[in-house]
Structure 1
Amino acid sequence: MKAELWTIVSCAVFFALIAPIYWVLTSDPTGSVALVMTTLLCVLISFYLAVVARQIPPRPEDLPDAEILDGAGELGFFPASSWWPLWAALAFATVVLGVVFGWWLFIIGAGLGAIAVVGWVFEFYRGIHRH
């Protein structure tokens, strides 16, 4: 977690330095507030990463004397390719077009979207990718 922590802390410092410079050069309140909020978001994420880094055992990449074999083993579950995100996106596009052209198209898109989301959620409970 140390690498991630220092990356986000660097971003927080960068945005903290840029926000007043941007305000002085442009006098734009919207951009200045956005930069301040970005700084605060980076500080929040840094705090979270610092707390989590203290609660979990160090990972191999956090140890200076770690070997390559220390990181061996299962890294997680990575799903196979899926067609459901495509159908969900097409259904969402139909819903958006339904807002423009008529309620009937919106209802068709919402129905197709419900089917696509249910299929996407439950794709690992059926067929060849079942767990």
Structure 2
Amino acid sequence: MKAETYIFGINAVFFALVAPAYWFITQDPTGTSALVMTALLTVLVTFYLGFHASRMEPRPEDNKVGEIADGAGELGFFPPYSWWPLWCAMTLAVIVLSVAFGAWWLFVIGAGLGTVALTGWIYEYYRGEHAH
């Protein structure tokens, strides 16, 4: 994770240099504050990655003398296809449209269906074909 730390550190320095230059060129407080917040957030991520990179065992790609075979094995759990994100997105669309149109009865229906869809998405690996 040292490579990621360096990348975010370089981005933090870039945004920290660009923010005052942007202020002097445009005198725009909105864009300047957005650049300052972006710089601070990249500093936050840099410290987080640096903190964890120093406390975990190096990954094969962090080893300078590592070989491709060092990275062999299971890479992690990758979930199969799922229909639940589609239903969650559709119920969110119903909720947003109900607020836009002022139909609060449709908001209640969308919230109920959204609760079912979100519960199904959360618990999809506890039952059915892909249960663990």
Could you state the TM-score of these two structures normalised by the residue count of structure 2? 0.96
- Report deviation, 1:72: 0.8
Aligned to 1:66: 66
Structure-2 separation of matches of 1:28 and 1:97: 34
CA distance in 2, matches of 1:80, 1:40: 37
Q: Aligned with 1:118: secondary structure?
A: helix
Residues 1:41 and 2:41 are matched in the alignment: yes
Q: Counterpart amino acid of 1:101?
A: G
Alignment of 1:1-131 (within 5 A): 1-99=1-99, 100-131=101-132
How many residues align? The count is 131
Contact 1:12/1:42 (<8 A) preserved: yes
What is the alpha-carbon distance in structure 2 between the residues aligned to residue 3 and residue 50 of structure 1? 10
Q: CA deviation at 1:101?
A: 3.4
> What displacement does 1:73 show?
0.8
SS of 1:5's partner is helix
Q: Distance in 2 between matches of 1:89 and 1:14?
A: 36
Regions of 4+ moved over 2 Å: none
CA distance in 1, matches of 2:105, 2:36: 44
AA in 2 matched with 1:94: V
Q: Deviations over 1:29-76 (max 9, x none)?
A: 111111111111111111111110111011111110001111111111
Identity of aligned residues (%): 60
SS in 2 for 1:124: coil
Instruction: Provide the TM-score with structure 1 as the length reference.
Output: 0.97
Contact 1:98 1:107 in 2 (8 A): no
